[in-house]
């Protein structure tokens, strides 16, 4: 019995003599396993390898060995991982990906989602708070940002993108990952894929963000803005930057250079649905009176005064070109700064200061010889307003067969007629005229009747 050896045949262990084994070896393919200290009949039994060790089927089944697709052998279960996406088991040395949220493991071919250096599987990504906020559902607030010692002009932009290749959330988060100062956030916008919205920042602060290095470089080739034809670049500026005179000058500059601004905007149509430039006015007929009193509101206009704290320049078509983008911000900045300056003679060239603006304007061959003489228009406007105020203060009018007086309320002239109700005289609102339209009282059918003070005295001082 001394020379019995352990033998594995038809998936059963037994002990046989060495002589018997040698006989069997003539007929079968039998191999010795160091690991098992056993001869295994590979023709009749199941077997496998772990690394270079030959294992019997008993060991594989009882010892928690699992077949690994990558190494093509059996490994102890503790040295294996299960891939969720392919439902395969691989060895622990396989270059797998792990979801940082649920901890599940995925093959190297699986498309992980990334945000803030973490990766996420599809399921966890679905459950996450979206990077792109719903329209107007961003409640973290806007905080003006500037570098030291700068003008209090803040500009916030909205850049719309469309035709996104792949997943919008992934694109948004890959851009925002590079946003070290949290200058941007994203919102849905029903007319395009989504939009990037910035905090209000000074021009220098925007420049210092080096958007080209992470924002535009990340968007490149992954979506469209200008080419989509649906996208705009809107620039908000803070109303608080302007005093009354600055506002009047701002509007006059916009009206006077409307043609040049249209060319600069890269819009194809003057009356584009989201940026209607309104009335075409010849430069010679631009008055401060008309400019300051013509106000447009909402999503259809090129210059929107609707928001409580900002004026919105809606003229620019979207762009993914950093130089074009910066040229647009510079232009808005320059217009606002000059509006609030004391410069009287404004030329198109004067509005083009900066690193990008002039080159951009020249590249599009936008030239203008006419000068805007703001000082002169301001003087005319003052004279006109004085005349209107004086006329309303001093005159009573006759309109059809009504005696009327008027006053300025906001940007309108409101006329009242004197009415008689059961012997009591009272003022009834009769007519309302836009100051922007106004030229003379007669034009609206209001003719001089008498001195207002005398009429008032005559009626007992009430009117
Ligand atoms: Zn996960």
pLDDT of amino acid 1: 52
Tens of pLDDT, residue by residue over 369-379, are 999 999 999 99
pLDDT of amino acid 366: 97
Half-sphere exposure of 356 (CA within 13 A, CB side): 16
What is the 169 CA–ligand 1 centroid distance (Å)? 16
pLDDT of amino acid 201: 95
Is residue 7 within 8 A of residue 15, CB to CB? The reply is: yes
Weakly modelled stretches of the chain, pLDDT under 50:
none
What is the 83 CA–ligand 1 centroid distance (Å)? 12
What is the 166 CA–ligand 1 centroid distance (Å)? 20
pLDDT of amino acid 237: 96
pLDDT of amino acid 460: 75
Cα(227)–Cα(3) distance, integer angstroms: 86
Using a 10 angstrom Cβ sphere, with 0-12 exposed, 13-18 middle and 19 or more buried, the burial of residue 295 is: middle
SS (H, E, C) the chain: CCCEEEEEECCEEEEEEHHHHHHHHHHCCEEEECCCCEEEECCCCCEEEECCEEEEHHHHHHCCEEEECCCCEEEEHHHEEEECCCCEEEECCCCCEECCCCCCEECCCCCCEEECCEEECHHHHHHCCCCEECCCCCCCCCCCECCCCCCCCCEEEEEEEECCCCCHHHHHHHHHCCCCCCCEEEEECCCCCEEEEECCECHHHHHHCCHHHHHHHHHCCCCECCCCCCCEEEEEEEHHHCCHHHHHHHHHHHHHCHHHHHHHHCCCCCEECCEECCCCCCHHHCCHHHHHHCCCCCCCECEECCCCCEEEEEEEECCCCHHHHHHHHHHHHHHHHHHCCCCCEECCHHHHCCCCHHHHHHHCCCCCCCCEEHHHHHHHHHHHHHHHHHHHHHEEEEECCEEEEEEEECCEEEEEEEEEECCEEEEEEEEEEECCCCCCCHHHCCEEEEEHHHHHHHCCCCC
What is the 119 CA–ligand 1 centroid distance (Å)? 8
Q: And the tokens for 447?
A: 């003719």
pLDDT of amino acid 2: 63
What is the 131 CA–ligand 1 centroid distance (Å)? 17
pTM score, whole prediction: 0.71
What is the 289 CA–ligand 1 centroid distance (Å)? 62
pLDDT of amino acid 457: 86
What is the 73 CA–ligand 1 centroid distance (Å)? 28
Tens of pLDDT, residue by residue over 254-312, are 999 999 999 999 999 999 889 999 989 899 999 998 898 888 888 899 999 988 899 99
């Amino acid at each position: 019995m001394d020379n019995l050896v352990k033998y594995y045949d038809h998936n059963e262990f037994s002990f046989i003599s060495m002589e018997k084994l040698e006989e069997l070896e003539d007929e079968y393919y039998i191999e010795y396993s160091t690991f098992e200290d056993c001869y295994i009949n590979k023709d009749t039994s199941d077997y496998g390898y772990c690394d270079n060790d030959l294992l019997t089927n008993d060991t594989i089944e009882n010892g928690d060995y699992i077949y690994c697709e990558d190494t093509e052998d059996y490994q102890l279960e503790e040295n294996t991982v299960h891939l969720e996406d392919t439902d395969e088991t691989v060895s622990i040395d396989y270059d797998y990906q792990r979801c940082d949220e649920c901890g599940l493991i995925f093959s190297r071919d699986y498309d992980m989602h990334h945000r803030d250096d973490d990766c996420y599987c599809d399921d966890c990504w679905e459950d996450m708070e979206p990077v792109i906020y719903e329209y107007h559902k961003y409640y973290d607030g806007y905080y003006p940002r500037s570098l030291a010692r700068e003008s209090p002009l803040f500009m916030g932009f909205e850049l719309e993108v469309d035709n996104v290749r792949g997943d919008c959330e992934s694109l948004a988060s890959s851009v925002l990952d590079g946003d070290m100062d949290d200058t941007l956030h994203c919102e849905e916008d029903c007319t395009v894929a989504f939009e990037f919205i910035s905090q209000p920042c000074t021009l220098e602060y925007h420049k210092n963000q080096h958007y080209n290095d992470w924002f535009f470089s990340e968007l490149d080739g992954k979506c469209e803005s200008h080419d989509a034809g649906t996208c705009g670049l809107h620039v908000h500026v803070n109303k608080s930057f302007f005093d009354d005179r600055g506002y009047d000058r701002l509007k006059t500059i916009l009206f006077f250079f409307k043609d040049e601004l249209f060319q600069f905007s890269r819009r194809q149509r003057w009356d584009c649905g989201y940026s209607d430039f309104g009335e075409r006015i010849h430069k010679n007929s631009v008055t401060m009176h008309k400019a300051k009193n013509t106000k447009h509101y909402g999503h259809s206009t090129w210059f929107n005064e609707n928001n409580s704290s900002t004026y919105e320049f809606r003229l620019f078509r979207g762009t993914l070109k950093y130089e074009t983008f910066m040229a647009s911000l510079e232009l808005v900045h320059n217009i606002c700064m000059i509006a609030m300056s004391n410069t009287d003679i404004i030329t198109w060239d004067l509005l083009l200061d900066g690193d990008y603006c002039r080159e951009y304007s020249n590249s599009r061959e936008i030239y203008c010889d006419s000068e805007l003489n703001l000082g002169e228009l301001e003087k005319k406007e003052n004279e006109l307003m004085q005349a209107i105020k004086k006329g309303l203060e001093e005159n009573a009018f006759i309109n059809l067969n009504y005696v009327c007086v008027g006053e300025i309320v906001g940007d309108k002239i409101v006329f009242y007629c004197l009415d008689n109700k059961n012997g009591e005289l009272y003022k009834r609102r009769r007519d309302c005229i836009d100051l922007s339209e106004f030229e003379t009282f007669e034009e609206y059918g209001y003719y001089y009747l008498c001195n207002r003070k005398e009429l008032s005295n005559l009626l007992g001082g009430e009117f």
